[in-house]
Structure 1
Amino acid sequence: MLRRIPSQLAVALFWLLHWLPLPLQAVIGESVGELLYRFASRRRHIVMVNLRLCLPELDVTERQRIARAHFRALGRSILERGLLWWASAERLKRMIRLEGAERLRALLDDGRPVMLLAPHFLGLDMGGARIAMEFNCVSIYARQKNAVFDHWLFHGRSRFGDQQLLSRQDGVRGTVKAMKAGRPFYYLPDMDYGREDSIFVPFFGVPAATITGLSRLSRLTRAAVVPCVTRMLPGGGGYVVELGEAWADFPTADVEADTTRMNRWIESVVRTMPEQYYWVHRRFKTRPPGEARPY
């Protein structure tokens, strides 16, 4: 539905909305999400398939409830992007609480490269912006097809500090160099990027094509892996970014075991807030040979 709005008009709408108090923006965003749930039938189908595969223990009614809550949160996350593009750093700091920054700073002060393991929750960009206010990071940026949105998304991810945004086509060399220079790597490994550089490991018990970069890069750079989760708080209450303890005994010599551990950890966090995971992504589109596609 939002794709039918001219991009310049959508950006103007985001600019107007960013002046509103966050609780009011949340109400508007959740209302947009309700419309998406009702009319974005293709995406609703993808969400329901994902929930059926990942949470089969729930009945249809409960999965529908989660799907509807997911679209409401998705609507919020879309409209609140204007805050990332134009709100002051002071306002964003009041809105986004950062927990565990001292752990990350201690690792960097010791000269340890760091990978921030940041799964695709809907508050992901809010978390990235808040971390960028405290640390100069490196991350991977996927260029958008729409030039207007590409400009503003890039702007939002680079406006604070001295952030380094690399494309997937740049390879790992630039990322490794940046990590060794003291930049935490804001790493998003939980999407289906196809067969290349992926292995099939379980995600909620379903074989999922999963990239192995967390294990391989942490071994190559001797980086600490720090879990990073951004939670959207209810009622327009803002966001909280949680930086956990660095993983012990990671990586190992077994890339498959390491990648399985990553997926299991992501599963455990998803279960704490299932409506906020990025279910509109076709996580299981790449299948093992001979297995039918679920979508």
Structure 2
Amino acid sequence: MTAPDAVPPRPPFSPRLWPAWLGLGAALLAARLPWTWQRALGLGVGRIALRLAGTRRRAAQVNIALCFPQESPQWRARLLRDSFDALGIGLFEFARAWWGDDQPMRRQMQIEGVEHLQALQAQGRGVLLVSGHFMTLEMCGRLMCSRVPLSGMYRRHRNPVMEWAVKRGRLGYADAMFGNGDIRGAVRHLKRGGFLWYAPDQDMRGKDTVFAPFFGMPASTITATHQLARLTGCAVVPFFHRREGGRYVLRVAPPLADFPSEDAVADTARVNAAIEAMVREAPSQYLWIHRRFKRQPQGRSDYYDRGRAPSP
């Protein structure tokens, strides 16, 4: 097994991988553009994606309707448009976080609650820093690494070029990266008092999932937060982050009290509630294009089928 802090060997420049290498080259160039240019270009990319990404646009429309049924159609349409603007900017943020300069962001960064992490660090206690899939996650993860030693968990890429590039980029600022299958490595890291960033807010399949509320909807959610806390005794700490214009706002909440309990479903519901609170603070920056409710207790849902009204 590859060591958690090791970059895999660089893939070959084979014809099969040329599209990935070309995409990586474009991302490397984009990462070095001035931040004002990146934001302007990102808005353009987001507007184009809103028009062309039909399936993902549909998923975002459905998710927004399911999560905000009390809002007007005009409000939801504006959120949809704003979310694709954030998506476009986020693509440049990802590239800059992996391979660019974060000094312009550090100069305008606002961070609150880091004392909670410092207190846990002084105790030698591991920390599971829990957040959601926001378009700011990569840049804010890098900014947090400038304050505390932080590692991450991630889903491995099937494309070897992307796996190499992303791992190399993230290990430029993170202490270590653990693939989603390396639970033993993550457990060892937390038991040694390490800090680990994790986002458990995507629809997952498998035996270690439960249905827990998310915006009042049953959402298939992995129980890994409960399991890791139970196995290691780590603190579970919600991590809020958002972008306000060109400024990044990071907030570390106090550790969840009396966590974990004996009830994996109740603990998972608490984690979902924390992520929901994050979304309500910055709804346009959440990754709405993921089909969060595609699995329901009665089986696969038809929420995302074309022609069905997106309502609970």
For the Cα contact (< 8 Å) 2:239–2:250, is it kept in 1?
yes
- Matched residue, 1:166: 178
| Distance (Å, rounded) in 2 between the aligned partners of 1:204 and 1:281 | 15
**Percent identity of the aligned residues?**
38
String of CA shifts for 1:91-116, please: whole Å, max 9, x gaps.
Answer: 45335444332321221111112110
Question: What SS does the corresponding residue of 1:239 show, helix, strand or coil?
Answer: strand
**Which one of 54, 70, 84 corresponds to residue 41 of structure 1?**
54
Does 2:279 correspond to 1:270? yes
- Matched residue, 1:218: 229
C-alpha deviation, 1:219, in angstroms: 2.5
**Which one of 244, 265, 278 corresponds to residue 233 of structure 1?**
244
Superposition misfits of 4+ residues, deviation over 6 angstroms: none
Distance 1:290 1:281, change over 3 A: closer
After TM superposition, the score normalised by the length of structure 2 is 0.85
| Distance (Å, rounded) in 2 between the aligned partners of 1:74 and 1:95 | 21
Does 2:297 correspond to 1:288? yes
C-alpha deviation, 1:293, in angstroms: 3.1
The CA RMSD measured in Å over matched residues stands at: 2.0
Amino acid at match of 1:33: G
- Matched residue, 2:251: 242
String of CA shifts for 1:186-225, please: whole Å, max 9, x gaps.
Answer: 1111111114300111111111111112222212222211
| Distance (Å, rounded) in 1 between the aligned partners of 2:192 and 2:299 | 44
- Matched residue, 1:110: 123
Task: Work out the number of aligned pairs and report it.
Answer: 287
For the Cα contact (< 8 Å) 1:208–1:286, is it kept in 2?
yes
After TM superposition, the score normalised by the length of structure 1 is 0.89
| Distance (Å, rounded) in 1 between the aligned partners of 2:102 and 2:282 | 27
C-alpha deviation, 1:34, in angstroms: 0.4
For the Cα contact (< 8 Å) 1:199–1:210, is it kept in 2?
yes
- Matched residue, 1:144: 157
| Distance (Å, rounded) in 2 between the aligned partners of 1:14 and 1:238 | 22
Question: What SS does the corresponding residue of 1:259 show, helix, strand or coil?
Answer: helix
- Where structure 1 has 5 or more consecutive residues not aligned to the other structure, the ranges are none
Amino acid at match of 2:81: R
Does 2:70 correspond to 1:57? yes
Question: What SS does the corresponding residue of 2:281 show, helix, strand or coil?
Answer: coil
Does 2:135 correspond to 1:126? no
- Where structure 2 has 5 or more consecutive residues not aligned to the other structure, the ranges are 1-17, 305-312
- Matched residue, 1:32: 45
Superposition pairs for residues 169-180 of structure 1, below 5 Å? 169-170=181-182, 172-180=183-191
String of CA shifts for 1:233-283, please: whole Å, max 9, x gaps.
Answer: 22xx13222112112232222222111122122222211221111111111
- Matched residue, 1:254: 263
Amino acid at match of 1:127: C
